[in-house]
Chains A and B, each alone.
Chain A
Amino acid sequence: MPILEVKDLRKTFGRIEVLKGIDFSLEHGEALSVIGSSGSGKTTLLRCLNFLERPDSGSIAVKGEVLLDCADPSTLRESQIRRKRLHFGLVFQQFNLFPQYTALDNVMLAPRLLAKENNTWDTVRHKVHDEAVELFRQIGLSDRMNNYPHQLSGGQQQRVAIARALIMHPDILCFDEPTSALDPELTGEVLRVIRGLSEQDTTMIIVTHEMEFARDVADKVIFMDGGRICEQGDPREVFSNPKEERTKQFLSRYSHS
């Protein structure tokens, strides 16, 4: 059974149809890269998966559970959205760390609030702290845990944002152009962390303009164009031997640069 199944997802903003029926599925441990030009609907797709936008029609199922089905109003209740969101994690292009908290507190805030609500904070606090420390080791920032976001470089901030998403144990971790706001020199350190995650069988969806990275890390690639999936498949196949004319056109712009 696929871990994620998306069916006929559609989304319109005003008169502009941004998603015109998206279908795809993802197996556990797979990394999917989504490529395509700006405005092709990649970010809107991620935002729908994370319940930041409500699609107009279509359905999203994780591990067989239908989280959202626009045809079934009982799945659209605001009160349940919060729990459903936790199946997904999202790393933003602009990091969006909380400036008033240290890197460590940024990572620990959400699990702390959740545990406090359930009155389990006293029992789990050491576990959460140890896990956060371990995540900082994993992203290579053990020595910067007590720094505030403005004291960190963009690449370091983005790595903290990844740790912040990971500590909630999402089934599927989404990245929205995670290196687009970074200097070219800093993209490497972020991509290395993402690559490490894919080696640990983290299920991921990565929207990116880093074609080389999309090809090397992903198990599957989707090329989006004008709100539709134009082509999808094995990255080596799609990159070296695209079937659609539009894909060829898009990829050729990258291979020449």
Chain B
Amino acid sequence: MDTFLQQLPVVVNALNSGFVQTLKLFSVTLLGAFPLGLIIAFGSLSKIKAISLTTTFIIWIIRGTPLMIQLLIVYYFPGLVLHSPIWGGGEQGRFLAASIAFIINYACYFSEIYRGGILSVPVGQNEAGLVLGMTKKQIFFNVTLLQMIKRIVPPISNEIITLVKDTALARIIALQEVIWAGQAFMKGSHGISGAIWPLFFTAFYYLIFNGIVTVLLGRLERKLDYFR
């Protein structure tokens, strides 16, 4: 027990800095994937066959293969196959590679949710805007968008909660996120070795953060309850 109490502050400190990296990857992924997903959704809804087919094909590839493989490809392909290691060897390069893989992966999942959301807004809304002389762009931003957001909050919430936990996959390219930090205490880190409890302890970080995310998304959902 004594050793546990001695180890605790050291472990928490290390896990905290690991979790900062987790949060950074989480935020960057959302910031990138929200808009990119919309562009992909428009692509898959395009009336131009070449665009919609290409987009559908890309979505199939990204959703049909494990994110872990995508991480490995993004990180190692430039260096090992193209012989131009664009990411460098440092933590910054790993973070950049992880961000790109996560953004592309999540944008594809979001795009399908957006697509469903856009299609679920009745055509009458679009026609009402048109006959009032609005442009397509004005209709999208002033009429369709909020109705779409209201409909996609529940499925997007699901994806966001999954993303919190998926960030752990980035340790496959040695990104020093919270699980990586926890695992380090098994091999030896900060003078502690052979300890497995820090790894188990990381679960609390995810649990608490997902609790906060759930409350916030629930609030957003209630906020949009003012219309039907």
Interface positions of A (Cβ within 8 A of B) = 50-52, 82-83, 85-86, 88-90, 92, 94, 96-100, 109-110, 113-114, 148-150, 164-165, 168
On whether the beta carbons of B131 and A90 are closer than 8 Å, the reply is yes
Taking CB atoms, residues of chain B closer than 8 Å to A164 are: 132
Taking CB atoms, residues of chain A closer than 8 Å to B147 are: 99-100
With an 8 A cutoff between CB atoms, is B228 at the interface?
A: yes
A116 CB → nearest B CB, Å: 9
On whether the beta carbons of A92 and B127 are closer than 8 Å, the reply is yes
The chain B residue with its CB closest to the CB of A90 is B131
On whether the beta carbons of B134 and A113 are closer than 8 Å, the reply is yes
Give me 13 A-to-B residue pairs in the complex whose CB atoms sit less than 8 angstroms apart, sorted by A's number: A52-B127, A52-B131, A88-B131, A89-B131, A100-B227, A109-B142, A113-B134, A113-B138, A113-B142, A148-B226, A148-B228, A149-B227, A149-B228
On whether the beta carbons of B131 and A98 are closer than 8 Å, the reply is no
On whether the beta carbons of A168 and B146 are closer than 8 Å, the reply is no
Bound complex: CA of A22 vs CA of B129, how far in Å? 27
With a 10 A CB-CB cut-off, give which of B127, B129, B132 has the most chain A CB atoms.
B132
Main secondary structure of the interface of B (DSSP, over half): helix
On whether the beta carbons of A85 and B131 are closer than 8 Å, the reply is yes
On whether the beta carbons of A150 and B228 are closer than 8 Å, the reply is yes
Taking CB atoms, residues of chain A closer than 8 Å to B143 are: 98
On whether the beta carbons of A96 and B130 are closer than 8 Å, the reply is no
With an 8 A cutoff between CB atoms, is B135 at the interface?
A: yes
Bound complex: CA of A131 vs CA of B143, how far in Å? 22
B124, B130, B133, B146: the one contacting A114 at CB < 8 Å is B133
B129 CB → nearest A CB, Å: 8
On whether the beta carbons of A99 and B227 are closer than 8 Å, the reply is yes
B window 116-142: CB within 8 A of A: 122, 124-125, 127-135, 138, 142
The chain B residue with its CB closest to the CB of A47 is B127
Taking CB atoms, residues of chain B closer than 8 Å to A100 are: 146-147, 150, 226-227
B window 78-136: CB within 8 A of A: 122, 124-125, 127-135
The chain B residue with its CB closest to the CB of A88 is B131
A94, A99, A168: the one contacting B132 at CB < 8 Å is A168
6 further interface pairs, Cβ-Cβ under 8 Å (given A82-B133, A110-B129): A50-B131, A83-B133, A86-B133, A98-B125, A100-B146, A148-B226
On whether the beta carbons of A110 and B125 are closer than 8 Å, the reply is no
The chain B residue with its CB closest to the CB of A83 is B133
On whether the beta carbons of A96 and B133 are closer than 8 Å, the reply is no
The chain B residue with its CB closest to the CB of A52 is B127
Taking CB atoms, residues of chain B closer than 8 Å to A168 are: 132-133
B122, B133, B142, B227: the one contacting A85 at CB < 8 Å is B133
The chain A residue with its CB closest to the CB of B131 is A90
Bound complex: CA of A168 vs CA of B131, how far in Å? 10
Taking CB atoms, residues of chain A closer than 8 Å to B125 are: 96, 98
Bound complex: CA of A148 vs CA of B147, how far in Å? 14
A25 CB → nearest B CB, Å: 22
B184 CB → nearest A CB, Å: 49
A173 CB → nearest B CB, Å: 11
Taking CB atoms, residues of chain B closer than 8 Å to A82 are: 133, 135
